[in-house]
Structure 1
């Protein structure tokens, strides 16, 4: 009997039995997830499944092991995991970020999320003083940057409007002894003092403008500040690095940073930002999209970063970047990170490798050079 048939109105009694069984299964899985030893063994077992199971139809993690793990863990449970550099992260099990971090191989990885983007940020962080991050989440990359630049007397200015994740960001800074992270429960926008509401699930939530509502009424509502106004308020002359992962608002936020973008190459900030097909129109090529054209107008060179949206060990591999007019973009709506620099001399290093006519989206289940690190 097919699942859809069981769930149809014509099979009400069978549907009722099925739903009762499903509810019992969910309760059983949640019970397993509350036991530390069983949870650890379950993670090990699922890693073995991913190594041994032949599943050419798609991603084993996203379609088989992941959904079961999602049923085992309660989204309000807090887990702790340590990185190879000694940093510790506490986090909710609420998205793929948390799931893939828990499932990391090796068990003590060198990053939380997006290995090549993290590697790039740490590479760029040498001698940085002022870093601004929009969409800091629980600190998966903000905490690593704050730790990296603390000896430079550097400061990370982190913006995260999700209340739970904002609190976790502050918590992670505290347990790692980082006093150089300034966290703000605000959103970045081209203008200050606007109000937005988070719509959607946790890290996948996007912001929508609201009028005549206050934060006291709805915890998902937050106020905004422009980068220009924030820097003036904090008496910061220039930023060294801007990182934006804010679900489609990147272009608008950069419109509020024109004074920074106009700085000469020796002073202008390096920018790392996300683009996603759901928010960015790239039908005429990524190089013709609004945000890329906007940055190029200020003299920036822009590249797509090849990376996994996951936790994958890429320690010994160079950071692969693609010119925007040579990016392979076909496939379902997807997103990836990009790098914008005025001084391209930083790319003249063995840490970087330019690629052409491949996808920025690295996918383990795709047996194609388009979605694999180049040989």
Structure 2
């Protein structure tokens, strides 16, 4: 049924107009720069980026638009403009930033990578925003980064970023991590927000259990990173031998959409899995965006001291087999605060100790 509301027609015209403006790369770049530079002057109760400038910038783009950025250390990234990850990386204050996404998680992975004695396994590698940096750090040490990315377009972009950075220690698997190998799954949802569901028609992609994969590769696993939209528990259930024998560090996302933490984090199956194996578990304080945070230690919140109030949200967790690993100067243990770093929210809950 066609709507007679003139506002609907105006909305379509506005959308078409924005996309038309965005087809001119030079004009688009000027508009993006103007919006980024104006953010400090815009009064907004919420997040200026998410609520005001971001939607306008998004409207200038198509899903096929592609960019390239070079980090301060020379790492090159090509990426499709599809989600907040791409948008906020594009809008970085520095022309050559230090990272792509989630500054404290990036620091954490690189810190854990300093003394690794085994390979890295990344579930939900996307276009390599974290995996490429870890692979560069491990180059020449005989260690590999095994990436799993079931989205074929993002897996292709990941491979492209591996190639342009001349990395020879990365393995790309266009597959999904699960409790069992050989299942057929598909992605439900858009790009980085998509979660794995059963493929009824036999299409989609194949699942891989980490235990099976590690055995086939004949490799020791020293670090696991998982950001797979609710499949974290299933993936870890397929890694029981790896966890018990290799005792890797594990960085994983925990999201209220998929995990019921109404009885506290300790009671969740994900955290219980690690606690039963004798791991120490922490929430990682980070900003779900791109932001330079030089000199800031990695703040970790003990499992029973995490502030969880607020709308449905997610954050990264860290499980380590030995709590002594996080006692150095790179870390700061803090209690009673939120793992969500939000510049527009209450400083005592949502800002790093000492402020941004």
TM-score by length of 1: 0.91
- Is 47-56 or 201-210 further displaced after alignment? 47-56
> Which stretch shifts more, 304-313 or 77-86?
77-86
Residues 241-292 of structure 1 deviation map (CA, whole Å, 9 limit, x = unaligned): 00000111111111111112213xxx51000000000111111111221111
Partner of 1:189 in structure 2? 178
- Separation in 2 of the partners of 1:182 and 1:82? 22
Structure 1 position 363 matched with structure 2 position 346: no
Q: Secondary structure at the match of 1:152?
A: coil
Identify which of 261, 272, 284 aligns with 1:282. 261
Mapped to 1, the partners of 2:105 and 2:86 lie a distance apart of 17
Name which of structure 1's ranges 267-276 and 120-129 shifts more when overlaid on structure 2.
Answer: 120-129
Aligned position for 1:156: 145
- Is 1:111 the equivalent of 2:99? yes
Offset of residue 26 of structure 1: 2.5
Show the counterpart of 2:35. Answer: 46
Give the Cα–Cα distance (whole angstroms) in 1 for the partners of residues 141 and 23 of structure 2.
Answer: 42
Tell me whether 1:136 sits opposite 2:119 in the alignment.
Answer: no
- Paired residue for 1:89? 77
Query: Which of 51, 56, 62 is the aligned partner of 1:68?
Result: 56
Equivalent residues in 2 for 1:168-187 (5 A)?
A: 168-187=157-176
1:339 corresponds to: 318
Q: Which residue of 1 aligns with 2:108?
A: 120
Secondary structure of the residue that 1:90 maps to in structure 2?
strand
2:213 to 225, 230, 253: 230
| Count of residue pairs the alignment pairs up | 352
Query: Any conservation in 2 of the 1:127–1:149 contact (CA below 8 Å)?
Result: no
Instruction: State how far apart, in whole Å, the 1-side matches of 2:238 and 2:14 are.
Output: 50
CA contact (8 A) 1:242 1:270 kept: yes
- Superposition misfits of 4+ residues, deviation over 6 angstroms: none
Does residue 98 of structure 1 match 2:95? no
Residue 29 of structure 1: how far off its partner (Å): 2.0
Counterpart among 234, 237, 240 of residue 255 in structure 1: 237
Give how far 1:368 is off: 3.1
CA gap of 1:96–1:194, structure 2 versus 1, over 3 A, is same
1:318 and 1:223 mapped to 2: Cα distance?
Answer: 39
Separation (CA, whole Å) in 2 of partners of 1:101 and 1:68: 16
Q: Distance in 1 between matches of 2:23 and 2:129?
A: 24
| Aligned 8 A contact 2:72 2:97 in 1 | yes
Aligned to 1:5: none
- SS where residue 308 of structure 2 aligns? coil
1:271 equivalent among 250, 265, 275: 250
Question: Which is worse superposed, 181-190 or 99-108?
Answer: 99-108
2:17 maps to 28
- Select which of 285, 288, 291 maps to 1:306: 285
RMSD: 1.5
Is the CA contact (8 Å cut-off) linking 2:214 and 2:242 kept in structure 1? Answer: no
Structure-2 residue corresponding to 1:4:
none
- SS of equivalent to 1:73: coil
Gaps of 5+ in 1: 1-7, 216-220
